[in-house]
Chains A and B, each alone.
Chain A
Amino acid sequence: MAKRLMPKKQLEGVGLTLTGACVLLVALVVIALIFMVAQQGLSAFFVDGINFISFITGTSWVPSDGVYGALPLIVTSFGVMLLATLFTLPIALGSAIFVVEVQPGFGRRIFQPLVELLMGIPSVVYGLIGLTVVNAAMRAIFGEAAGTGAGILSGGIVLAVMILPTVTTLSIDGLAAVPNEYREGSYALGCTRWQTVWHVVLKSAMPSLMTAVILGMTRAFGEALAVQMVIGGVEKVMPAGLLSPAATLTTALTSGFSNATTGSVQYHALWALGLLLMAMSLIFILIIHLIGAKGAKNRG
């Protein structure tokens, strides 16, 4: 037997200290971040005297004139997120069913790596492609009404492609995790493959599918760069329709900070947007955990 590097007990202690320190570090970073965002964001309301209600419900965001109404940004953020999910979900689910239930060999060896490749493409590339292809397509389809082609619909389409790998991969994993006995039981009862997928596989994979969708939504909600390039960036009015140019919480943040001086009202208002974003992500995470807990309970 090889000579021990350390007495067993001491080695245990080192392991405990190292892993404990990692946990402590992560917790520290999270707490420091929350504290900083909250401190800067809340000072918009408590120091600069912006009314919280009018901040949430105001329909115009013009920081240079001191008008801070974040509703257009909130509406747009949710709009592009829902659109992206709407476009992505059927495609992701369809290909996941094909990969898991129809052609597992092809799926695992060729399709999944291909989809995961999409995840590695930087946002700015999606943005550039969106700017040249999606915006041009919008103009070609809708003509003058589309303006430059930039708008909520373009943002939703680009985001749909961006969240496709997340939703697809997680859906594949979710479907693959359904025990084979379920399928065999269904076939034994005389169900066709389609009936098995619809009534048995999808139903029992529901919690993991929901998690896949919500993780995709979270990504869509938080994406800034690519959306910024295709959405038009108009913050001052409520978007009137899917073709209206608009701005999301994240794009308003990224483009606003370069023009704000530290410590100004505008600067604090941007942090308040950040705080709002953080609160939204927290809600998403809570929902995921709730679904996870419910799923675990259902499976016993």
Chain B
Amino acid sequence: MSDSLSRRSFLSLAGGTAVALAGLGLVGCGGSSSSDSSSDSASSDSTAKSLSGTVNCSGATSFQPLVEAAAKKFEDENPDVTIAITGGGSGQGLSDVRDGKAQIGRSDVFAEEKLDASDAKALTDNTVCVVGMGPIVNSNVDVDDLTTDQLKGIFTGQITDWSEVGGTAGKIQVIERKAGSGTRATFEAAVLGGESAPADFAPVAEEDSSGTVVEKIQQTEGAISYLAFSYFDDTKFKALKVDGVEANADNVCNGTFKIWAYEHMYTKDADEVTQAFIDYMMSDEVQGSMVEEQGFIPAGDMKVKKDASGTITNA
């Protein structure tokens, strides 16, 4: 009888453990709003140093390394804070912050472009930095400079041979990013001026990631694509000038180079910990060195600004 009891108690123990684990998992996924609220009372009567809680941050992968590096430092300074950073893309980031699944949603594009106007309005836009992008070609292409019109012609299928833009004859192999990617949206807004390529024009590839673009542009004779500055590598491929302007951070800042976008960290009714982290992202500690180390441009350096419809004005 004692044996039978022990078996039964083993079963109930195992079952209990499983339920408890599942419960823990659910709490983990839901984000710990409970600990956030408890931290309110704790921090109200002490200094800001006693922050605690979890911040979920999902979305665009393009500047995820920057946010991860900053989050690590922030966690070192605030040991009770956990910042959970996941990927998923801009669309995911925006829907997560809209639905309250994440406190921060990272995006390459303005929320207005992806969400309903009313949903977008409820979000707070924090532009942490600027990313510059430029056209790149296979190292063997003997063209160094293209006008915006020529770029437009190439990416809409009007220009198909390098000899038409002053190079040695050879087929232009257009490598695109996936429709809907932030990089592509930025490039098309600046180069195609809001138009999109005709329906019957097919590029030779539409890639999901910048890494694959690097790989393909190296391998493919006559290939052209576009990448963020942080991926630029003269040993692997060649970055082109646009209208005679070199693709670099200084030219983006002074407004002469037009292909760039903000990196957004959207929040919705940010709680104390979330706001503290956003403030940290905007502080000199991150903006001063970390942003540039990761290949981005501090938002404060910009002498021009862009709105959601792509209009550029002096800051």
Residues of A within 8 A of B (CB): 3, 5-6, 10, 60, 62-65, 67, 131-132, 135-136, 139, 144, 147-150, 228-229, 232-237, 244-245, 247, 254-264, 266
Give the CA-CA distance A136 to B178 in the complex, in Å: 22
Given contacts A135-B219, A144-B173, A236-B202, 6 further A-B contacts (CB under 8 A): A67-B199, A148-B175, A149-B219, A235-B179, A258-B92, A263-B95
Known: A131-B212, A131-B215. A147 touches B179 (CB 8 A): no
Which residues of the partner chain A approach B3 to less than 8 Å between Cβ atoms? 3, 5-6
B181, B196, B220: the one within 8 Å of A65 (CB): B196
Task: Decide: A6 and B7 in contact? CB cutoff 8 A.
Answer: yes
Task: Decide: A261 and B114 in contact? CB cutoff 8 A.
Answer: yes
A62, A237, A264: the one within 8 Å of B179 (CB): A62
Q: List residues of B (192-249) whose CB comes within 8 Å of A's CBs.
A: 196, 199-200, 202-208, 212, 215-216, 219-223
Which among A232, A236, A245, A261 has the greatest number of chain B C-beta atoms within 10 A?
A261
Task: Decide: B89 and A232 in contact? CB cutoff 8 A.
Answer: no
The residue in chain A whose Cβ has the minimal distance to the Cβ of B206 is A233
Task: Decide: A260 and B7 in contact? CB cutoff 8 A.
Answer: no
Which residues of the partner chain A approach B166 to less than 8 Å between Cβ atoms? none
Q: Could you pull out 7 A-B pairs where Cβ atoms are within 8 angstroms?
A: A5-B3, A144-B170, A147-B173, A229-B212, A259-B178, A262-B92, A263-B95
Known: A232-B204, A259-B89, A261-B114. A148 touches B219 (CB 8 A): yes
Which residues of the partner chain A approach B215 to less than 8 Å between Cβ atoms? 131-132
Give the size of the chain B interface in residues (CB under 8 angstroms): 41
A170 to chain B, nearest CB (A): 33
Task: Decide: A5 and B91 in contact? CB cutoff 8 A.
Answer: no
Q: List residues of B (155-186) whose CB comes within 8 Å of A's CBs.
A: 170-171, 173, 175, 178-181
Query: Is B301 part of the contact surface with A, judged by Cβ < 8 Å?
Result: no
Task: Decide: A147 and B205 in contact? CB cutoff 8 A.
Answer: yes
Which residues of the partner chain A approach B171 to less than 8 Å between Cβ atoms? 144
